[in-house]
Amino acid sequence: MNLFTPLSWNDTGFILTGILNTVYISIVAIVIGSLLGLVVGFLRAESNKSINMLLGALLDVLRSVPLIIQLILFSTFIGVMGFPLPPFYAGAIILSLYTMAFMSEVFRSGFNSVPGSMVQAARSLGMSYFQTIWYIRVPIGMRAVFPSWLGVALSVIKDSALVSVIGYMELLRTAEQLISRTQQPLMILIGVGVFYFMISYPLSRYGKYIERKMEL
């Protein structure tokens, strides 16, 4: 086995683009997905049963169809509709919606974890409805679900690898292209794995640490 790869220093720029693209699309999806998820989670915690069922059914579709099928379907669909988007936008839209489906569930349980008496107390202190949301329910509810939020965010970073299927040059796709040129799959793939691990592992440890601290 030859471990000396014909990789040259010129490839570092190429790999770096892949890394940056992975980080970029993950951050975009997490931020937009969290914001949308916060709104949808709030709606689900507040609204009555029928609206809840409807929203739940819509989110269910996003959660029970594989992400890769959603990506292919969406990029084909916009192509057919006549306004194709660059891979980044198509990927970011689907990844954000996918994130939203999971985040809304996290945030809904966050909103539900704030006791009703606390909200009533805030109202009796003269806070308006929106003030109780902004100063009481959001900060207290969100703090309670931070570890779950982190868990979903980490899975989004890992799932962002799937955006490669519609042609976005993220890390795994750059790796695949380097593999087909250099024919050295092992070295390159291990490097890629180490990169994902280095992002994900410290964050998951941090999440566990917070979780343990909150239990006490």
Partner 1 sequence: MDNYEFHWNVVFDAFPQLLSGAYTTIHVSVLSMLIGIVIAVLLALGKMSTTKAFYHVANIWIEIARNTPALFLIYMAYFGLGAYGIHLSPYFSVLCALIFINAGYLAETFRGGFQSIPQTQYSAAKSLGMNNMKVYRYIILPQMFRRIYHPMTNQFVWSILMSSLGILVGMNELSGETQRLQSSSFRTLEFFIVAAAMYFVITKLVLFGSNLVAKKIFKGEVS
Four-CA torsion 84, 87, 90, 95, nearest 10 degrees = 170
Q: How many CB atoms lie within 10 A of CB 88?
A: 18
Written as one string, the DSSP assignment of 50-109 is HHHHHHHHHHHHHHHS-HHHHHHHHHHHHHHHT-PPPHHHHHHHHHHHHHHHHHHHHHHH
Measured from the CB atom, the residue of 139 and 202 that comes closer to partner 1 is: 202
- Asked if 216 is part of the footprint of partner 1 (rule: CB under 8 A), the reply reads no
Chosen residue from 112, 177, 182, 204 binding partner 1 by CB under 8 A:
204
Q: By the 8 A CB rule, do 164 and 170 touch? A: yes
- Asked if 182 is part of the footprint of partner 1 (rule: CB under 8 A), the reply reads no
Chosen residue from 162, 166, 169, 178 binding partner 1 by CB under 8 A:
162
Stretch of residues binding partner 1 (CB under 8 A), selected from 13-21, 27-35, 48-56, 157-165? 157-165
Stretch of residues binding partner 1 (CB under 8 A), selected from 26-34, 78-86, 93-101, 133-141? 78-86
Q: Which of 49, 29, 51 is nearest to 40 (CA)?
A: 51
Distance of CA 53 to the CA centre of its chain: 24
- Asked if 212 is part of the footprint of partner 1 (rule: CB under 8 A), the reply reads no
CB of 60 to partner 1, least distance (A): 8
Chosen residue from 190, 209, 212, 214 binding partner 1 by CB under 8 A:
190
Measured from the CB atom, the residue of 127 and 211 that comes closer to partner 1 is: 211
- Asked if 72 is part of the footprint of partner 1 (rule: CB under 8 A), the reply reads yes
